[in-house]
Structure 1
C-alpha cells in the first residue's frame, strides 16, 4: 500500500492511496481548519505539522481503501522547532 499527500500554498492537506483505482485526491477534513506546513509519510503511517506547532499522525495501514477520517494530535511536542 502506498499513500501520498500534498499541501497547498494556503496549508490545505490532500491525501490519496494507491488502492483507489481512480486515484481520487481528497482533502483530509479533520484537519481542514488547520494550516499544514509540513508532511511526512511512511509505509503505514502519516504525519503533519501545523503552523502553530501541533503535530498530528494517523495509521495509514487502517486507511488502505480510503483516506483517514481522524488524525490524532500528539501531545508534548507543541512549541518544539520543526526543521
Structure 2
C-alpha cells in the first residue's frame, strides 16, 4: 500500500502544477476526488481503504490522464 499511497500523492502534486486552464477542464468530481484521496493518503493513511485506493489507481488515474491529455490537445499545449 505504500507504493499506492506514494503514487496518489505524486499524481496530485503533478495536477497541482498543471496550467490553470487545463485543470479547469477536468471534471470537478475528478479534481475533488483526487484531492480527497491524496489528503487521506498523506495525513490519515491508516484510514485508507484498500479497494478504494486500488480503484483510484486502476480506474480513476488513467481516466484523469486521458482528460488531461484531451485538455492539453484542446488548448494546443
Q: TM-score range by the shorter chain?
A: under 0.3
Q: TM-score, normalised by structure 1?
A: 0.27
Higher helix share goes to which structure? 2
Per the normalisation by structure 2, the TM-score is: 0.28
Higher relative contact order (CA 8 A, sep 6+): 2
